[in-house]
Amino acid sequence: MNSTILGEEKNITLYTPPSFNENVYKTYPTIFVLDLNLEFAYSFQKKFEEPIYPHAVADEFILIGFGDYDFAEVERVDYLTPTTGPTLGCINGTFGNRCHGCVPVALHENAQQFIRYLERDCGKYYIFRGDSTLDFLEKEALPFANKMTSMRLQDDNIGVMGYSLGALLSCYAIWTRPAVYSFAACQSPPFWMPINSTHPNVTNFDFLTRILKDPTFQVKRPEQKIYFDAGGAETNYPYRITQATIEAAKTITQFQHYELNRNVWIFIDPGKGHSFTQWKKRIGQALTTLLPAQGAKRIPSLNDLSVG
């Protein structure tokens, strides 16, 4: 589809559940899934479907996947990073591959030295397009998908989910756009992103220190459901993904209408690291928690987990 908002042709991936062609009057919750391109959709299809069939522990839903960008380059960072001002990023490559090897040190080894290389050789300041991505999904992809499904999307029951950067944007979306999103799954979110130009280090944790504390987003919030998870081994400095994920869940439960194990959940998978393979393994639990079929069990409480 041609996107006026993103200024180019973009593909989305549409998934409909087993009953879609059996009951033409049934409508469905809708979930935006970040990073879900056609290749991932084929690979992940079983994990998305298992909670519905054969296990019948989650309600049926329709997925709108967006992953039409280069996963290995800065383009993915551009589309999935929310920011309100210039932030420091790689010219080529990503933080994960050290800007295609331009930076000789890994981020967890010497964060300040990494930043110095970016500022001197390998980086530039960007205004990332996370908000434009959300505008595209809500204003262009959603109406397009609704037309393709004969207007069977529930416009008052929309969710967003993703892993890593997709989780960061999912958390940002549900907190800053409460009129749009009813639920979200934020799985291994890198809350240390983005690197802000006014504080050039990797430990700003912008979502925790600015977005959640912004009074604009703290009033007149509707009932929402937010699921967090992370691997127990995602503790390396300066990412602190495990610790920051727990902190985000605890912070949100301090606000009115949010309660742990009622509409905010957190799961720490002991010993697990950061990879799309881990996302694939935990997708079913996220869906079952957020959209449980009647009588389905919830995930264990925080007190039952070893969070370290």
Domain holding 266: CATH number? 3.40.50.1820
Question: For residue 92, is pLDDT > 90?
Answer: no
Mean local confidence (pLDDT), 180-187: 98
Mean pLDDT of the chain: 89
Whether 187 and 209 share a structural domain: yes
| Domain boundary, last residue among 99, 126, 153 | 126
Mean local confidence (pLDDT), 235-251: 92
222 prior amide bond cis, ω within 30: no
Question: For residue 265, is pLDDT > 80?
Answer: yes
**Cα gap 139→135, rounded to integer Å:** 6
Whether 133 and 194 share a structural domain: yes
Whether 93 and 206 share a structural domain: no
So what's the pLDDT on residue 299?
A: 63
pLDDT band at 305 (very low <50, low <70, confident <90, very high): very low
- Residue 87 β-bridge partners: 126, 196
Whether 106 and 247 share a structural domain: no
Whether 215 and 230 share a structural domain: yes
pTM over 0.85: yes
Whether 186 and 248 share a structural domain: yes
Whether 92 and 133 share a structural domain: no
Closest CA to 79 of 35, 15, 140, 33: 35
Which residues constitute the domain of residue 119? 87-126
Mean local confidence (pLDDT), 192-209: 69
Whether 118 and 240 share a structural domain: no
Whether 95 and 217 share a structural domain: no
Could you give the number of structural domains in the chain? Answer: 2
User: In terms of pLDDT, which residue wins out, 124 or 52?
Assistant: 52
Whether 111 and 229 share a structural domain: no
User: In terms of pLDDT, which residue wins out, 126 or 67?
Assistant: 67
Q: How far apart are the first and last CA of the chain?
A: 45
Whether 255 and 120 share a structural domain: no
| Domain boundary, last residue among 74, 97, 126 | 126
- Residue 176: what are its φ and ψ, rounded to 5°? -95, -10
Mean local confidence (pLDDT), 237-252: 92
Residues 42-45: contacts with CB under 8 Å, at least 24 apart: 43/280, 44/280, 44/283, 45/15
Whether 38 and 172 share a structural domain: yes
Closest CA to 226 of 182, 256, 275, 164: 182
